[in-house]
Amino acid sequence: MPLALARKYRPKSFAAVAVQTHVSATLKGAIARGRVAHGYLFCGPRGTGKTTLARVLAMALNCERRAERMDGEPCGECASCRRVWSGSVSLDVVEIDAASNRGVDDARELRERAMYAPSGDTQYKVYIVDEAHMLTREAWNALLKVLEEPPPRVVFVFATTEPQKIAQSAAPVLSRLQRFDLKRIGLSDIRDRLRDVLAQEGVPADDDALAMIARAADGSMRDALSLADQVLALGDVAAVTADRVRDALGLVPEDTYLEFLALLAERRARDVFPAVERLADAGIDFGTFLAGLTDLIRSQLAVVLGGDGHDLSERARAVVVSYKDTWAAGDLLRMLNAITELEPRFRKSSQQQLLLETLLVRCALLDRAVSLEEVLRELDAPGGAAGAPPLAGTPVPAGRETRTAARGAGSDAASSAVSGVAREAAGARPHPDVAVPVRVAREPAPPAAPAGGPATKLDAEGLAARWPAIIERVRRNRQSSILAAALQQSEPELGTDAASVTVRLAERNEILLRAIETGRSDLLNAVRSEWPAVVRVDVALPGGGAASGPPKRLTAEAVKAEQVASLRRRDPVLGAAIDALDLELLD
Ligand SMILES: [Zn+2]
């Protein structure tokens, strides 16, 4: 059997590691300057390059030509580099799968082994602990002792998909590790890499075919290459085409997904049953189908929030954009929540068809309610500029308090889905033009970027000054209106150490907290574009509390509570009406 692509094309240098340039640049610099930390934590979804980076780090530290090469890159050619790269037995680089070495005994043994000096005077001993969140608390305690007094030239690299679990079981260890959050690998990056690899294999490939593999790989470069293996394994492949990919991977045709999206958008609940029946007849795996449909709904949400649907095919983008005004963001969010809730049960169920049908009928019949987007726009909008793109609030000079006419719930009837009763109550108030203070963004207007590139020294003043630019960068890079909106409701502060920034929310709000938590690595990247030395971004609640632990799940109830609270804030008259009449906003 030919060598698997993922293995054959495994990067041999930091420069070759896809996407994670923010991490590799920092690591390379640390090696070049001889300032390597004793412990690293690489966090990120599967297949994003955690172990690969750890191996390149180990190669660089033990490269025989390290002294000649000043740039911190491994040569990739010397005996040591080749040994580490191929994963063959090495005295100095030890890979441990925590999933199978969970116990305290293993950690003790590890500790004892770590006490032995590396094999040569210039060598480093590198322990790569994969799936580190699987280690027990006792194992962490044993490791903590090593990290408290690290032997010279011993480096631990912990890789995990679930850093919050480590935060729960081993907080003191976490504070001794330099943490890097690896980015999920985007479709276009995966596509480019696939094209490159297949070209080196001498196999031409269609763009559509590459996009299909990339989508199926779901952000994992390793999966993408394995799927490419699978397509090539069909044998006698002259070219990688869309049809061939579909055959090899058992993919669902795009049109099928678009048909279901239309069905949901047009609320044709009764058509659910024959449509699912056709899926069954075509032998389509329901789990695969549900995952694909979830992706499409997610893309629809992104487009509704102002994204451009760049990760979709041209055809799908046209359809999704045409439904832009059909959906409220809140509805799509609730659908996604419903799917996520169902998923664990779905995988194990012997009644998948029934579960799928019920889910889709529920989604098709979903009451369209007050949209999350609208709530955030209210929180976000200084002066509530009508016609502005959703959530794209513009910063207002510091200290200015804007008074503006209240936007009655009735004035925006088309997009507001406040129940008719509540709308009427609000509209019936005597003075529709009552002025109420509206929260304004506190950031000063962004100063011009300093000449000669980004600022180098991180201080509170510079942080405050560059914050609007960072928010703008987040908004641009990710089309993430929610994250950007959440950041506008926050103040940046210097972290407890010189290399971190704390984002403090102006108010305790689950939606904003979650938006920042989930977008943390994007935020970190934006901050790094100004101050490359920053390695961590924390989120804090108002009044000094740290937002430790994973945020609560964003439930429909929580969203609704926030919505009601927000409506009250923005419109005291409506608030009073709700109190007086005991109205509930319809769900
Ligand atoms: Zn080398």
- Give the model confidence (pLDDT) of 477-497 as tens digits: 655 667 777 787 788 888 877
148 and 175 part of one domain:
yes
In a domain, 578, yes or no: no
Residue 307, amino acid: G
For residue 227, how far is its CA from the centre of ligand 1 (angstroms)?
Answer: 31
For residue 4, how far is its CA from the centre of ligand 1 (angstroms)?
Answer: 23
For residue 74, how far is its CA from the centre of ligand 1 (angstroms)?
Answer: 5
For residue 79, how far is its CA from the centre of ligand 1 (angstroms)?
Answer: 7
For residue 155, how far is its CA from the centre of ligand 1 (angstroms)?
Answer: 18
For residue 429, how far is its CA from the centre of ligand 1 (angstroms)?
Answer: 77
Mean pLDDT (the chain) is 76
DSSP assignment letter at 235: S
Q: What is the pLDDT of residue 393?
A: 37
For residue 538, how far is its CA from the centre of ligand 1 (angstroms)?
Answer: 37
174 and 68 part of one domain:
yes
For residue 66, how far is its CA from the centre of ligand 1 (angstroms)?
Answer: 7
Contact 492, 538 (CB under 8 A): no
User: Cβ–Cβ contacts within 10 Å for residue 25, how many?
Assistant: 15
193 Cβ contact list (under 8 Å, min separation 6): 18, 221, 224
Q: Is the pLDDT assigned to residue 500 strictly greater than 60? A: yes
Residue 205, amino acid: A
What is the gyration radius of the CA atoms in the chain, in angstroms?
Answer: 26
Q: What is the pLDDT of residue 518?
A: 76
For residue 61, how far is its CA from the centre of ligand 1 (angstroms)?
Answer: 9
Question: 113: helix, coil or strand?
Answer: helix
For residue 62, how far is its CA from the centre of ligand 1 (angstroms)?
Answer: 7
- Give the model confidence (pLDDT) of 286-297 as tens digits: 988 998 899 899
Q: Phi and psi of 448, rounded to 5°? A: -60, 145
The more confidently predicted of residues 423 and 463 is 463
How many helices (H) and strands (E) in the chain?
26, 10
The more confidently predicted of residues 555 and 490 is 490
Give the Cα separation of 14 and 344 in Å (integer). 37
Give the Cα separation of 34 and 62 in Å (integer). 13
For residue 123, how far is its CA from the centre of ligand 1 (angstroms)?
Answer: 12
For residue 10, how far is its CA from the centre of ligand 1 (angstroms)?
Answer: 15
For residue 83, how far is its CA from the centre of ligand 1 (angstroms)?
Answer: 9
Q: Which residue has the tokens 């804007």?
A: 402
CATH number for the domain including 48? 3.40.50.300
CA 437 vs CA 254, 395, 410, 412: distances in Å: 48, 16, 19, 19
For residue 76, how far is its CA from the centre of ligand 1 (angstroms)?
Answer: 5
For residue 69, how far is its CA from the centre of ligand 1 (angstroms)?
Answer: 9
Q: Smallest Cα–Cα separation from 586: which of 423, 408, 426?
A: 423
Lowest mean pLDDT: which of 34-48, 136-150, 312-326, 553-567?
A: 553-567
Q: Is the pLDDT assigned to residue 583 strictly greater than 60? A: no
In this structure, what token pair is assigned to residue 444? 């000063």
241 and 292 part of one domain:
no
For residue 31, how far is its CA from the centre of ligand 1 (angstroms)?
Answer: 14
222 and 122 part of one domain:
no
- Give the model confidence (pLDDT) of 532-541 as tens digits: 888 888 888 8
For residue 12, how far is its CA from the centre of ligand 1 (angstroms)?
Answer: 10
CATH number for the domain including 490? 3.30.300.20
User: Cβ–Cβ contacts within 10 Å for residue 564, how many?
Assistant: 20
Element (H, E) at 490: strand 490-494
For residue 381, how far is its CA from the centre of ligand 1 (angstroms)?
Answer: 55
For residue 91, how far is its CA from the centre of ligand 1 (angstroms)?
Answer: 16
For residue 73, how far is its CA from the centre of ligand 1 (angstroms)?
Answer: 9
The more confidently predicted of residues 502 and 443 is 502
For residue 131, how far is its CA from the centre of ligand 1 (angstroms)?
Answer: 27
259 and 299 part of one domain:
yes
For residue 78, how far is its CA from the centre of ligand 1 (angstroms)?
Answer: 4
Q: Smallest Cα–Cα separation from 286: which of 298, 274, 277, 297?
A: 277
pLDDT band of 400, cuts 50, 70, 90: very low
pLDDT band of 73, cuts 50, 70, 90: very high
Number of domains in the chain: 4
For residue 180, how far is its CA from the centre of ligand 1 (angstroms)?
Answer: 24
Give the Cα separation of 426 and 409 in Å (integer). 7
143 and 230 part of one domain:
no
3-state secondary structure 172-230: HHHCCCEEEECCCCCHHHHHHHHHHHHHHCCCCECHHHHHHHHHHHCCCHHHHHHHHHH
Percentage above 90 pLDDT, the chain:
22
For residue 65, how far is its CA from the centre of ligand 1 (angstroms)?
Answer: 5
23 and 78 part of one domain:
yes
CB burial class (10 A; 0-12, 13-18, 19+) of residue 30? Answer: middle
For residue 157, how far is its CA from the centre of ligand 1 (angstroms)?
Answer: 20
For residue 121, how far is its CA from the centre of ligand 1 (angstroms)?
Answer: 16
Total residue count of the chain as it appears in this document: 587
For residue 216, how far is its CA from the centre of ligand 1 (angstroms)?
Answer: 35
pLDDT band of 410, cuts 50, 70, 90: very low
Question: 39: helix, coil or strand?
Answer: strand
Q: Smallest Cα–Cα separation from 586: which of 578, 373, 570?
A: 578
242 and 259 part of one domain:
no
User: Cβ–Cβ contacts within 10 Å for residue 368, how many?
Assistant: 14
Q: Is the pLDDT assigned to residue 225 strictly greater than 70? A: yes
Q: What is the pLDDT of residue 309?
A: 82
For residue 122, how far is its CA from the centre of ligand 1 (angstroms)?
Answer: 13
For residue 60, how far is its CA from the centre of ligand 1 (angstroms)?
Answer: 7
In a domain, 335, yes or no: yes
For residue 57, how far is its CA from the centre of ligand 1 (angstroms)?
Answer: 11
Give the Cα separation of 297 and 168 in Å (integer). 33
**Opening angle at CA 353, ends 352 and 357, nearest 5:** 115
Query: Quick one: the chain helix, strand, coil %, rounded to 5?
Result: 50, 10, 40
The more confidently predicted of residues 85 and 421 is 85
Domain edge (last residue) among 162, 181, 200: 181
Q: What is the pLDDT of residue 578?
A: 47
Concatenated DSSP letters for 144-156?
A: HHHHHSPPTTEEE
Residue 361 bridge partners (DSSP): none
For residue 50, how far is its CA from the centre of ligand 1 (angstroms)?
Answer: 20
Contact 336, 326 (CB under 8 A): no
Q: Is the pLDDT assigned to residue 436 strictly greater than 80? A: no
In a domain, 241, yes or no: yes
- Give the model confidence (pLDDT) of 511-524 as tens digits: 777 778 878 888 88
Q: Is the pLDDT assigned to residue 554 strictly greater than 80? A: no
In a domain, 434, yes or no: no
For residue 81, how far is its CA from the centre of ligand 1 (angstroms)?
Answer: 4
Lowest mean pLDDT: which of 93-97, 352-356, 446-450, 575-579?
A: 446-450
Range of the domain at 510: 460-544
For residue 118, how far is its CA from the centre of ligand 1 (angstroms)?
Answer: 17
For residue 53, how far is its CA from the centre of ligand 1 (angstroms)?
Answer: 15
Distance of CA 415 to the CA centre of its chain: 29
In a domain, 539, yes or no: yes
Q: How many alpha carbons fall within 13 Å on the CB side of residue 195?
A: 13
Domain edge (last residue) among 181, 214, 229: 181
For residue 13, how far is its CA from the centre of ligand 1 (angstroms)?
Answer: 10
The mean per-residue pLDDT over the stretch 307-316 comes to 81
For residue 17, how far is its CA from the centre of ligand 1 (angstroms)?
Answer: 17
Give the Cα separation of 482 and 115 in Å (integer). 48
Q: Order across the sheet with 490-494: list the strands.
A: 490-494, 500-505, 536-540
Give the Cα separation of 444 and 397 in Å (integer). 5
266 and 197 part of one domain:
no
In a domain, 431, yes or no: no
For residue 16, how far is its CA from the centre of ligand 1 (angstroms)?
Answer: 15
Concatenated DSSP letters for 317-351?
A: HHHHHHTTTT--HHHHHHHHHHHHHHHHHHHH-S-
Question: 400: helix, coil or strand?
Answer: coil
For residue 550, how far is its CA from the centre of ligand 1 (angstroms)?
Answer: 41
Q: Which residue has the tokens 């985007």?
A: 186
Lowest mean pLDDT: which of 27-31, 97-101, 310-314, 440-444?
A: 440-444
In this structure, what token pair is assigned to residue 165? 């679990």
475 and 330 part of one domain:
no
In this structure, what token pair is assigned to residue 321? 């954009």
CATH number for the domain including 346? 1.20.272.10
Percentage above 70 pLDDT, the chain:
72
- Give the model confidence (pLDDT) of 141-163 as tens digits: 888 888 888 888 889 999 999 99
Q: Is the pLDDT assigned to residue 224 strictly greater than 60? A: yes
Element (H, E) at 158: strand 154-160
Residue 436 bridge partners (DSSP): 404
Catalogue the long-range contacts made by 252-258 (C-beta closer than 8 Å, 24 or more residues apart).
252/279, 252/284, 252/288, 252/289, 252/292, 254/313, 254/315, 254/316, 256/284, 256/289, 257/292, 257/293, 257/296, 257/316, 258/296, 258/315, 258/316, 258/319
201 and 299 part of one domain:
no
For residue 15, how far is its CA from the centre of ligand 1 (angstroms)?
Answer: 15
Domain edge (last residue) among 212, 229, 249: 249
pLDDT band of 262, cuts 50, 70, 90: very high
Contact 245, 239 (CB under 8 A): no
The more confidently predicted of residues 182 and 483 is 182
Q: What is the pLDDT of residue 134?
A: 87
- Give the model confidence (pLDDT) of 322-377 as tens digits: 998 888 888 898 899 889 888 888 988 888 999 999 899 888 887 654 444 444 55
The more confidently predicted of residues 325 and 569 is 325
In a domain, 416, yes or no: no
In a domain, 499, yes or no: yes
In this structure, what token pair is assigned to residue 143? 């490791």
For residue 151, how far is its CA from the centre of ligand 1 (angstroms)?
Answer: 24
The mean per-residue pLDDT over the stretch 61-69 comes to 85
345 and 317 part of one domain:
yes
Q: Smallest Cα–Cα separation from 11: which of 247, 222, 278, 242?
A: 222
